[in-house]
A and B are shown apart, each in its own frame.
Chain A
């Protein structure tokens, strides 16, 4: 009996003393944290992807609360995963007006599939684009094109990008949050974040080859040859050509699809448009467009244009 009593008293005593110590230590070393940070963090998607530029959602929440307090705005802070909805809610929590941003999506600007850019050599080695990029040009011979080893797939936290066995190219699906991880991962800068577009309609140049048209087309039947037809036909100044490569500015593009029609190599892609009426003989392209006869003499027509934009590319089946 006595033993039990002693045991209870001893253990209980230790517990009480520890509790007192803990209490004082906790109050002494208490760090004040704005409760808003927790509230904001609650709203965020907890993906911890780093797409906002901060190491995790907590850091982003801290940054928003700090900025809201000091500058009364959230300019430059955006959670690409949560998108506008989440940012609106964050704004409400912090009593700020948030401007809606256009939703973005990753777009793959290369169409050098097995069919369009047949392999000339056979690669053997680790499945890493970064390594292959340093080793050689790529099986198809295009030194700008997709290497098809899936660094972007590995980088994606959202299961939004997959390699297609048929084409050997990555395909982006609707889970894409435009966090930009794949853009970073791609050693060839093929992937670009572009506006998702109304009803997900997008037009872009699915090529990043900066070589002369004759050289580019040798390796890939759907390469942009920099002929300049698209630039000429565009009424909205949205298309520029630099180093034999066309680029469509998605801020200016109104999705009129004129450039798609004139492109001799089918390197401009339109996605999620309705099929054209029969007269416009071109069917909406999915991944492989049969190469039209290419008239290179015309292709040399217009080249020069400044502006240092890159290119554009495509995805989506």
Chain B
């Protein structure tokens, strides 16, 4: 007779596992990947493959030779980081910069904290901000989207809608004067606008978000809180003066907001543990985003907002506890 196993209960395990969650996120990113390839062509494929491969490679090297621990590159977390990094850069970024980005994301933002689950900041965002500050020119020259069917024409670069607004308003123009320069809402939704690879198509990102909600990879709290905060605050400003502030819908569907709210802010590792905390976190991200977009030096502020809020997550976790059973029972006994 074989030896029975003895262990504490429970003796069954649920359906979730880390790889399942991570690959679920990857699946959710497929629509946005397809859109980026559609609009940015083979360049997008190059950046995607390079970022993913470099992230996996750096994780493997560090785990094998520096940490000398178990190799866990198959759990999908490095792949998610790689794809998110690719989503956060323009499709014409030189390859060596993509590789540096992957090194920063995996080496600096993730492994130096001890690996998966221990990092404070979202690795892909750390890399993006690192690249943005180190190579501002390359990171902000966005290729104009053109559908792949139109042939591989020479890449023309141009600003993002948010950049147009920021620059235009700074130059003293009004929103109605800027209107002709901006893509219309339909183009924003589909993704036909300048921007980082993954952030352009709001619809593709929303599709991914719905998939993750359905698969219970994320909860609604963070994305809804971020988006609602942005809509409300920009709505107030826009209602105040529609000529000097962009309208809320424009703010919602342009720039990296959708990508940030759905894929970056919801990163499990760097977001709060309770629903209350997640709402506050989302509110903070939304608020800082609006502040930077409206009054900051950069046209876009989602990545800074998320990183700043990442830093206060431990505090939020301390302050926001789940509703304890039996803490405030409000006993009412009817006779």
Name A's B-contacting residues (CB within 8 A).
119-125, 131, 135-136, 139
Asked whether B324 is an interface residue with its Cβ less than 8 Å from the other chain, the reply is no
Q: B8 near A121 (CB under 8 angstroms)?
A: no
Q: A135 near B8 (CB under 8 angstroms)?
A: yes
A125 to B7 Cα, complex, angstroms: 6
Q: A122 near B8 (CB under 8 angstroms)?
A: no
- Name 24 A/B residue pairs within 8 A (Cβ), A-sorted: A119-B3, A120-B3, A121-B3, A121-B4, A121-B5, A121-B6, A122-B3, A122-B4, A122-B5, A122-B6, A123-B5, A123-B6, A123-B7, A124-B5, A124-B6, A124-B7, A125-B7, A125-B8, A131-B8, A135-B6, A135-B7, A135-B8, A136-B6, A139-B6
| Chain B: minimal CB distance from A141 (Å) | 11
A131 contacts which chain B residues (CB < 8 A)? 8
What band does the interface of chain B fall in when counting residues whose beta carbon is under 8 Å from A?
under 10
Given contacts A122-B5, A124-B5, A124-B7, 14 further A-B contacts (CB under 8 A): A120-B3, A121-B3, A121-B4, A121-B5, A121-B6, A122-B6, A123-B5, A123-B7, A125-B7, A125-B8, A135-B6, A135-B7, A135-B8, A139-B6
9 nearest A-B pairs in the assembled complex, by CB-CB distance:
A124-B7, A121-B6, A125-B7, A122-B3, A122-B5, A121-B4, A136-B6, A123-B6, A124-B5
A121 to B7 Cα, complex, angstroms: 10
B3 contacts which chain A residues (CB < 8 A)? 119-122
Instruction: Please report whether the interface of chain A is mostly helix, strand, loop or mixed according to DSSP.
Output: loop
A75 to B5 Cα, complex, angstroms: 51
A23 to B8 Cα, complex, angstroms: 61
A218 to B249 Cα, complex, angstroms: 78
Closest B residue by C-beta to A124: B7
Closest A residue by C-beta to B9: A135
B5 contacts which chain A residues (CB < 8 A)? 121-124
A12 to B156 Cα, complex, angstroms: 61
| Chain A: minimal CB distance from B295 (Å) | 34
A123 to B28 Cα, complex, angstroms: 39
A120 to B5 Cα, complex, angstroms: 9
| Chain A: minimal CB distance from B1 (Å) | 10
Closest A residue by C-beta to B7: A124
| Chain A: minimal CB distance from B289 (Å) | 41
A119 to B6 Cα, complex, angstroms: 11
Closest A residue by C-beta to B6: A121
| Chain A: minimal CB distance from B12 (Å) | 14
A119 contacts which chain B residues (CB < 8 A)? 3
A125 to B6 Cα, complex, angstroms: 8
| Chain B: minimal CB distance from A90 (Å) | 42
